[in-house]
Structure 1
């Protein structure tokens, strides 16, 4: 699944490739991709709209048109590609935005899990899925004190708590594993049991890991490519994710993989010990 670094990289690519263009027509080949309004009205409203800006909130893309905001969530394998009108369509193409200059922006999704919704101008940040998100993982918005207070309210394991997006947004399976390794915290450690220094280490690790991943253009594990058709490079920097049985870069202990909240989870059993559990 594209996580914050991948989605931010897609946003940057689309900003370069399609901002400033005007929609001539929209073809919807799989109507269930469109959450609201209905597919026919969605397409009709976008005709004549100029794409003025690309924004992102958490893992959501926000297309800022003349009169509307279009919210797009890529889910598992959604991606955008730019094409000329004559280019052959991939069988997984589900929505085509045709521009007046003869180019197209195509949305492809092997699993068809992605969703788009059109709302009134400047209302994208008020979309139901966005309203529940925690702060962006940057120091200007993500505050250590609030993070510490939030952890103390939950006894659940730290990994699924970080995945639910409410304490801080943008973390998915890859980057939670990496941040917990960097902070030396076991993925099943109860959130309210973390000591002050552990919380501070985790706070800085989240900012560091996601920041470096954004700079690297994200992580390519399966099919992720950005809007320019490029793979991310952060996978070469992964310390634990996907490294089962490989030596921990810090202590040399073989990396272990377990299931935590139904998610494949990678950690070092020596560096990330589960503390205070009987």
Structure 2
């Protein structure tokens, strides 16, 4: 958390406030939350630059600055980027404050796993964590054939393969469980054994679930909020995630829990063959 729908929601809500704004000051309350580039510090690379647009790659938020500089923000488990129209005193877990021409952006993270890296735009794909990411599941280039090719060499449980960001960018525990349920495929199934029809159904389910998550502005259980501090609403539509031990909403059978790839997995033993 956050996964693709949450980061996309953060991107959209943050862009509405900060696009075309200049960064006037940066307060590094916990300096380890940011990374510079080679021998140049974060402030030196970022201060005074204008925000030209916001992009997303998988679970990463890309804040594009003028003069060919990019901020790569990864929220990890509990990171947040919140916008405030006026000055706001930093909260306990706020690590970085960006003062803009109009308002402030606070980066906070309870568990301190999240990071913001400044890197030249021309290098941000090949010389950062972005270089290892698999295809974007909502782009036209992501087809059933592409999904099949990325699963072909995976002799692991399908749940584990789909959590691998090198296979597919942006999916995490929530949306993998939900996608597999919609596709009617067991999370324990070996990834490279799916039929052509199963691949097509899984491809459609992944795209449908992610788009539904974006439309609902993400899923909020504990930490996730958009840039305005608002919760997402997709929790109300969840079929299996977080519902272990409860009846399946389709067939009524008790949903089962197991551990796959170190993550709690919930599925329906009747609906997911």
TM-score by length of 2: 0.95
Q: Taking structure 1 as reference, are residues 55 and 136 closer, same or farther at Cα in structure 2, changes over 3 Å only?
A: same
Partners of 1:50 and 1:104 in 2: CA distance: 14
Counterpart in the other structure of 2:101: 100
Counterpart in the other structure of 1:276: none
Q: Taking structure 1 as reference, are residues 184 and 219 closer, same or farther at Cα in structure 2, changes over 3 Å only?
A: same
Counterpart in the other structure of 2:72: 71
Partners of 1:39 and 1:86 in 2: CA distance: 32
2:36–2:45 CA contact under 8 A, matched in 1: no
Counterpart in the other structure of 1:219: 219
1:31–1:39 CA contact under 8 A, matched in 2: no
Counterpart in the other structure of 1:4: 4
Counterpart in the other structure of 2:88: 87
Offset of residue 38 of structure 1: 7.6
Partners of 1:86 and 1:174 in 2: CA distance: 35
Partners of 2:228 and 2:126 in 1: CA distance: 29
Offset of residue 150 of structure 1: 2.3
Offset of residue 266 of structure 1: 0.4
Counterpart in the other structure of 1:186: 186
Counterpart in the other structure of 2:15: 15
Offset of residue 246 of structure 1: 1.6
Counterpart in the other structure of 1:43: 43
Partners of 1:38 and 1:98 in 2: CA distance: 24
Counterpart in the other structure of 2:118: 118
1:5–1:213 CA contact under 8 A, matched in 2: yes
Partners of 1:6 and 1:181 in 2: CA distance: 20
Q: How does 1:130-141 map to 2 (within 5 A)?
A: 130-138=130-138, 140-141=140-141
Q: Taking structure 1 as reference, are residues 139 and 94 closer, same or farther at Cα in structure 2, changes over 3 Å only?
A: closer
Q: Which runs of 5+ in 1 are unaligned?
A: 274-278
2:82–2:107 CA contact under 8 A, matched in 1: yes
Offset of residue 88 of structure 1: 2.4
Partners of 1:149 and 1:57 in 2: CA distance: 20
Q: Deviations over 1:57-113 (max 9, x none)?
A: 111111111121111100001001122554222010101111134x21110100110
1:142–1:168 CA contact under 8 A, matched in 2: no
1:10–1:227 CA contact under 8 A, matched in 2: yes
Q: How does 1:165-244 map to 2 (within 5 A)?
A: 165-244=165-244
What secondary structure, in the 3-state scheme, does the structure 2 residue paired with 1:125 have? coil
Say what the alpha-carbon RMSD is for the aligned residues: 1.6
What secondary structure, in the 3-state scheme, does the structure 2 residue paired with 1:240 have? coil
1:28–1:39 CA contact under 8 A, matched in 2: no
Offset of residue 152 of structure 1: 2.0
Q: Which runs of 5+ in 2 are unaligned?
A: none
Range moving further from structure 2, 149-158 or 71-80: 149-158
Offset of residue 269 of structure 1: 1.1
Partners of 2:95 and 2:166 in 1: CA distance: 31
TM-score by length of 1: 0.93
Q: Deviations over 1:182-224 (max 9, x none)?
A: 1111111101121221111111100110011011101011121
